[in-house]
Amino acid sequence: MSTFDDLQDCPSWPEAFAQRYRQAGYWREETFGDLLRVAAQAFAEREALTDGEQRLSYRQLDLRVDQLAAGLYRLGLRAGDNVVLQLPNRSAFVETCFALYRLGVRPIFALPAHRHLEIGRFCEFAQARAYLCTDCDAGFDYRAMARDLKAGHPHLEWVIVAGEAEEFTALDGLYDPAPSPAFPAPSADAVACFQLSGGSTGIPKLIPRRHNEYLYNLRASVERCGLSSASVYLAVLPMAHNFPMCCPGFMGTLSVGGRVVLGHSPSPEVCFELIEREAVTHTALVPPLALVWMEAAQARGRGLSSLQLLQVGGAKLSFEAARRIEPVLGCRLQQVFGMAEGLICYTDPQDPPQRVLHTQGRPLSPADEIRVVDEQDQPVPVGQVGQLLTRGPYTIRGYYRYPEHNAQAFTADGFYRTGDRVQLTADGYLMVEGRDKDLINRGGEKIAAEEVENLLLSHPAVADIALVAMPDAFLGERTCAFVIARGQAPRAVELLRHLRAQGLAAFKLPDRFEFIPAFPQTGVGKVSRKHLREAIQALYFGAEAQARVGTDARG
């Protein structure tokens, strides 16, 4: 077994649990490379992937994956290597994922919105041997960022670019026209990939997902969501996210012979046309996008006739929004709650409206163990709010190379402290009430307050800073930076320029700045974020009737 898989680097399940999950049939000793191979044998000439004008059958996709895997192996990548993968929703993303899986090379799934700060941290923390990116997307040149990354990370041997590669290795040039299976298949117990945690520290926490457990996550999600070979899944959200990848996502769709349609933009103008042209049956959105889609559907006076099921997750969907989805869009709603660390909850397509509209679903597996506890880790009565702890056959036992944090994030008996505050209903459904962690959920994207604060503190005009959530009817939460200035208060645009210069992703930029002389404090002298949140909430709602106060950073 690779030294990367030892208990310090990638904590695994105790043998008794692993044996239990195998005996129950949850872990089947299969890999993601096997998934596509089996599907290609069963559905060879069926269309697997639609990317604009490009259409690939299962046989063609499987062959291209073999060709790319052979080229990456010839380049020098080997099982156990870590690579950072940052590609938009294109066929290259799907092909690269499966090629890396077949080699046993482990992708770190970066989001297209990540910039130098985040990508550099991933490269350094995981000692990545390669960075795979596109040339340009949404007006951003990833090659320019790659030049800086390669100069600052000597262990980064290759930059591989989809599109115009310039001085880097062209992804298109790696496809071997006559591939031979010269590389050994990875173990089903090996780490398949790394998802990213939206942790509250701002330090990159990599989530090791293994073939056995992640495939169980996928298979059980396929069953709960009712996917079949007749399903057509539209990938709208960034495919690197756990949600559109394996819950059940594009991977789940391919596992049953369905068709995946790649959405290059989440806008209703683009997606509605795709849904109608390709007869899309399933897709997944975060709540802000669901609201945009409903407004667009109402404006055009009709729903989406082929769409059968809309999953909404990533942040809590309000009851008012939930109850409008079926009448406006003409499809069933499935609420989804979970985390890339493991636990996923779904409402069932056959659930009564009371459950679908008011809860965030029930755990995916009969082997999921749930505790709702108080501050002393004691169980709270059913129906009361408490902190959610969980363990199970697809919930990790620790982050990658992070033993000091694992000691805090996991109980001694292996339960993961999710940081969510929930109610558990008598029939086993969860109602999400909020978060314990100092983490802001901006439309499904998680923002660590500490990360943004540390970057702002490096500005000479900032004496102190506290970033908190402010309510927003569209995104759920936006960010407000309370700043104590050193001398004359800087302009908001100056602080935003400072953050951009340090490579912070755009979605993490504060939406609003408030300049105050001092922070409210708790009884023990700490900054009272609770009082700051209450202050901005009062100011925000007061501004609905009066002139807005403060500085709106994003206009």
- Would you state the pLDDT for residue 179? 85
- Domain hosting residue 176, numbered range: 31-210+245-256
- Would you state the pLDDT for residue 454? 83
Contact partners, residue 69, CB within 8 Å, separation at least 6: 98, 99, 100, 102, 103, 179, 183
* Contact (Cβ atoms closer than 8 angstroms) between residue 313 and residue 335: yes
3-class secondary-structure state, position 76: coil
- Would you state the pLDDT for residue 112? 96
Residue carrying the six token digits 């923390």: 125
- Would you state the pLDDT for residue 349? 86
In which region does residue 429 sit, left (phi positive, over 0), alpha (psi from -120 to 50) or beta (all else)?
beta
Nearest CA to 293 out of 268, 266, 325 is that of: 268
Residue ranges in the chain modelled with pLDDT below 70:
1-8, 181, 199-204, 437-438, 522-526, 541-555
Q: How far apart are CA 526 and CA 305, in angstroms?
A: 54
- Would you state the pLDDT for residue 7? 55
CATH number at residue 82: 3.40.50.980
Within a domain: 18: no
Within a domain: 518: yes
In Å, how far from its chain's centre is CA 455? 23
Contact partners, residue 223, CB within 8 Å, separation at least 6: none
* Count: domains in the chain: 2
In which region does residue 459 sit, left (phi positive, over 0), alpha (psi from -120 to 50) or beta (all else)?
beta
Q: Which tokens hold the place of 342?
A: 């493991």
Within a domain: 408: no
Within a domain: 447: yes
Q: How far apart are CA 528 and CA 156, in angstroms?
A: 42
Q: Which tokens hold the place of 283?
A: 């897709």
Within a domain: 327: no
Q: Which tokens hold the place of 34?
A: 């096997």
Tally the C-alpha atoms within 13 A of residue 215's C-alpha that lie toward its C-beta: 26
- Would you state the pLDDT for residue 555? 46
Tally the C-alpha atoms within 13 A of residue 509's C-alpha that lie toward its C-beta: 23
Within a domain: 428: no
CATH number at residue 455: 3.30.300.30
* Contact (Cβ atoms closer than 8 angstroms) between residue 461 and residue 422: no
Q: With the CA atoms of 384, 388, 393 and 399 taken in that order, what torsion angle do they form, in degrees rounded to the nearest 10? A: 180
Within a domain: 81: yes
* Contact (Cβ atoms closer than 8 angstroms) between residue 424 and residue 370: yes
Residue carrying the six token digits 């056995």: 212
What single letter denotes the amino acid at residue 87? Answer: L
Final residue of a domain: which of 256, 291, 324? Answer: 256
Within a domain: 24: no
